[in-house]
Structure 1
Amino acid sequence: MTGPVLSPGAAQLAHLLFEWLGIAIGVQLYRWQRRRAGQPAMLERGSFGVVIGCILGAAIGNKAVFWIEMPQLWAGTAVDWRVLASGQSIVGGLLGGLIGVEVAKKLTGITRSTGDQFILPLVAGTVVGRVGCFLAGLHDGTYGVATALPWGMDFGDGVPRHPTQLYDMLVVLALGAALWHWRRPLARQSGLAFKLYLSGYLLWRLLVDGIKPLPYDYGFGLSGIQLVCIVALLCYLPALIGQCRAHRLPAAS
């Protein structure tokens, strides 16, 4: 199968367009959910700090995990700052946003869980953003390794590859659909749905990044993103397991 083959300029434009479209859709969905729940607007007291914490945390995590994934970019004397500044990581954005929100909640005295309202925006934003990754093809570092499977895609170099961008879209949609199916029982434990989403996505990335080109080997064939996923899961799973034990899921209605 033949995948998208764009020029470097067109690939960069497509990636940027769908990236910002995904962010815009995610923000609007988050606002819609808050209005539907009768909660304060994003810029009102009680919400503004959480929003700022999410944005700053996601921005920092986005870059930090990319730099962990590509430490070789810092090597040598001719560091390409444009590449360092443009690189991004969904895993980093998720974890950074989570940390930023929790810090903001501590500073503002918010004790309620706020994560569940981020699931729908994250699903939509990730799917739309991955369209840009797919269109960018070989100009983006999210494609897979060579494969003989019939759905392997040639992005212009004559090598059929795993379309891991499409895999990511399908898994995120499936994860979102499963959580939507169980939304009523999950709603009895505030924050449980988000913990399931984040843990599920981290586990998925730990697996799927094993069929992507390895930019830097941290040992045992693990990439920087896989290493971050392992550390994050070890830190996060105890809270998820504890909450799941306290909440047995009845049959969805």
Structure 2
Amino acid sequence: MTLSFFDQFSLTTFMGIPLIALALTLHWILFPTPQNRCLNNRLSTLQAWFIRQFTHQLFLPINQGGHKWALLLASLLIFLITLNLLGILPYTFTPTTQLSMNMGLAIPLWLATVLIGARYQPNHTLAHLLPVGTPGLLIPILIMIETISLFIRPIALGVRLTANLTAGHLLIQLISTAAFHLLFIMPSVSLLTTTLLLLLTILELAVAIIQLMYLYLLVSLYLQESV
């Protein structure tokens, strides 16, 4: 049977259990659980401090009404970063390489920001569809373009995350396969390829974090326009 490089992204099962279900649930055991005691351990304290400082910096430019989203977005960010980082390990499955999952996260977040803006600031929301001082002949065209760009936002959120992670995983698999096959033919080239593989893995770790930060910032900007 001929295997494809894209088989690593297929939704397979093990003993009747979908791997995506295990990947979405088992990583929570890595996080410390708060205890009902006077003092927390160092890991819990460091985790709480990092989340508090990180959320505070990102929500500074947003109005007070948007701070209600802090808990939701911070939890989502930690959840997705953990999935991405663990997905780089061998023999693991990365759920965020599935477009269906990313779109399932992006569309509700985008729709919530649009509905909040339409409810609390309808005039301000509609004003984004037409810049000030637009000539009369260009008004229908600009409204159409801005409306299309508005509906493209969730697609951009989901597809960007999926495409970047899928490309990185494919490159890692291609280079690791080449390094293995060259090991017995050209050991020096295999060593060079392995070094390139290590550098690419470090780059993929950075991409896994940067892409989620970009997703987080885009959602916060959409929220800033609505509150």
Q: Which has the larger radius of gyration?
A: 2
Instruction: State the TM-score, normalized to the length of structure 1.
Output: 0.37
Instruction: State the TM-score, normalized to the length of structure 2.
Output: 0.39
